[in-house]
Amino acid sequence: MTLTPADSGSPPPEPTPRPPTVAENEWGRVDAAGDVFVRTAEGGERQVGSWQVGEPDQALAFFGRKYDDLAVQVDLLEQRLGSGAAAPDETASGVRKLREALVEPHAIGDFVALSLRLHAIEAQIAERRAERRAERAQALDEARSRKEAIATEAETVAEGDDWRSGADRLRALLDEWKTLPRLDRASDDVLWRRFSSARTHYTRRRKTHFAEVAERREQAKSVKEEILAEAEALADSTEWASTARRYRELMSGGKAAGAAPKPADDAMWRRFRAAQDTFFTARSADLSKRDNEQQTNLEAKQALLAEAEALLPVTDWKAARETLRSIHERWEAAGHVPRDAMRTVEGRLRRVEDAVRDAEQNEWRRTNPEARARAEDTVAQLRSSIAELEAQAAAAREKDEPRKLEQAEDALAARRSWLEQAERALDEFRS
């Protein structure tokens, strides 16, 4: 059993007297023994170290600088959090470390103020975290909307027929998808399956399309090879009209066949053009030669026209007919004239032919005894008919029969007109 001084009846020991303070400031002091104390928030003090060498004021300065180091760390936390250079979690980790350092710090200073500043920082961290949660929630909402839009657009592209721009657009949508934050697993997986399925569907349809295009181009190549073979075979033809027409048909057939694979298509087109140019160059040379010949022929026919038109007016149709026969023989021998002059020269010769023919027919009609007899008979019949009609009109006038009189006078007018024409025809035979 241990006895205290009271139990043993001995007087309590005198308390050890504290060494006097030799240096102090608002936040701490140094005593004569070299012990350094910091004042606590509760009104007491706590030893933070000892100082055995140097002046007591240097001890206060030394432990004050340690406090300043802690304050600087608080400053940095405030600045980095306020500027956004440090994330809230990173700043919270710094606060925890400082809290641990402030449990029994070996420094002198206003630790209450530091603690309050740390409380303020923690409040700011909570605000930043709340803001970040709100921003993250908003970002996720925006990402969800954007991913839904991407999936919808991809499905639209997948059903379209834009085989070039569509592939580029799907690649751009994939690149954008990769930049967006992930959603909750279920939502993200559903949207990704929609997007991925659309891309797969489009890729399959695109491959099918280009396979069909390749097949059509091979078929077009086969058709164009046949066209090319015929075009090259026709290059030396001198059947200008029919061959030119055939080249136009071959050209249309090549266009209708569609495109072949590009290198082969370009090569076949160059060969087709070369064959076509060979033919049309030869045709142009021949036509140029023919134009010169036809121009010479035109000059010859114009001289024959001058000779023929000199027969007008026709006075001796027999002599004119003989001269015209000679002109016809030389006309045929002269050959073709330019197409644009053909109608003019043919028309001028035809007018001379018509004039000679009219002169011959007029002479025949004038000297034909049968025609003269018919004309005389017609005149006699008309005169007899007029006499009868005049008698009928006179009788109707005497009997006052206006209707019969009108009919007789109408008939008389017609017969007299006919008689006038018949007499002129008869006069032609008498001239």
Q: Is the pLDDT of residue 259 over 70?
A: yes
Orientation angle between helical segments 339-367 and 402-430, nearest 10 degrees: 100
Q: How far apart are the first and last CA of the chain?
A: 194
Q: Is the pLDDT of residue 322 over 60?
A: yes
Distance CA(31)–CA(153), nearest Å, equals 81
pLDDT band at 1; cut points 50, 70, 90 = very low
Mean of the per-residue pLDDT values for the chain?
86
Least-confidence region, from 96-110, 282-296, 318-332: 282-296
Identify which has the larger pLDDT, 333 or 379.
333
Q: 125 and 92 in contact (C-beta within 8 Å)?
A: yes
Q: CB count, 10 Å around CB of 170?
A: 21
Encode pLDDT of 137-171 as tens digits: 888 889 999 989 999 999 999 999 988 899 999 99
Average the pLDDT over 306-324 and give the result: 86
Instruction: Output the pLDDT for position 431.
Output: 58
pLDDT in tens, 26-55: 999 999 888 999 998 888 899 999 998 888
Q: How many CA atoms lie within 13 A of 188 on its CB side?
A: 10
Report, as an integer, the average pLDDT of 264-275: 90
Does 370 score more than 80 pLDDT? no
Rank 4-8, 116-120, 136-140, 293-297 by mean pLDDT and report only the highest: 116-120
Question: Would you say 183 and 143 are in contact if contact means Cβ atoms under 8 Å apart?
Answer: yes
More confident residue, 310 or 425: 310
Give the residue-averaged pLDDT of 72-78. Answer: 91
What is the pLDDT at residue 157? 93
Question: Which H/E stretch holds residue 158?
Answer: helix 111-159
Instruction: Work out the pLDDT band at 62, boundaries 50, 70, 90.
Output: very high
Give the domain ranges of the chain. 21-135, 146-214, 224-290, 291-367, 369-430
Residue 179 binned pLDDT confidence (cut-offs 50, 70, 90): very high
pLDDT-derived band at 380 (thresholds 50, 70, 90) equals confident
Looking at the predicted structure, is the pLDDT value of residue 390 above 90? Answer: no
Is 23 within 8 Å of 53 (Cβ atoms)? no
Interstrand relation of 35-39 and 45-50 (parallel, antiparallel or unpaired): antiparallel
Q: Residues 351-373: what's their mean pLDDT?
A: 78
Res 384: pLDDT: 87
Residue 75 has pLDDT above 50, yes or no: yes
The mean pLDDT value for 91-119 works out to: 89
d(CA 4, CA 259): 118
What residues contact residue 163 under an 8 Å CB cut-off, 6+ apart?
A: 206, 209, 210
Look at residue 269 and tell me whether its pLDDT is greater than 80: yes
Q: Residues near 21 by Cβ (< 8 Å), separated by ≥ 6? A: 29, 30, 31, 32
Q: What is the pLDDT of residue 47?
A: 92
Residue 2 predicted with pLDDT over 50: no
Tens digit of each residue's pLDDT (9 = 90 or more) over 230-256: 898 988 988 988 999 988 998 899 889
Q: What percent of the chain has pLDDT over 70?
A: 94
What does the pLDDT read at residue 72? 94
pTM, whole model, 2 decimals? 0.44
User: What pLDDT is recorded for position 4?
Assistant: 46
363 falls in which pLDDT band (50, 70, 90)?
confident
pLDDT of 420 strictly over 90: no
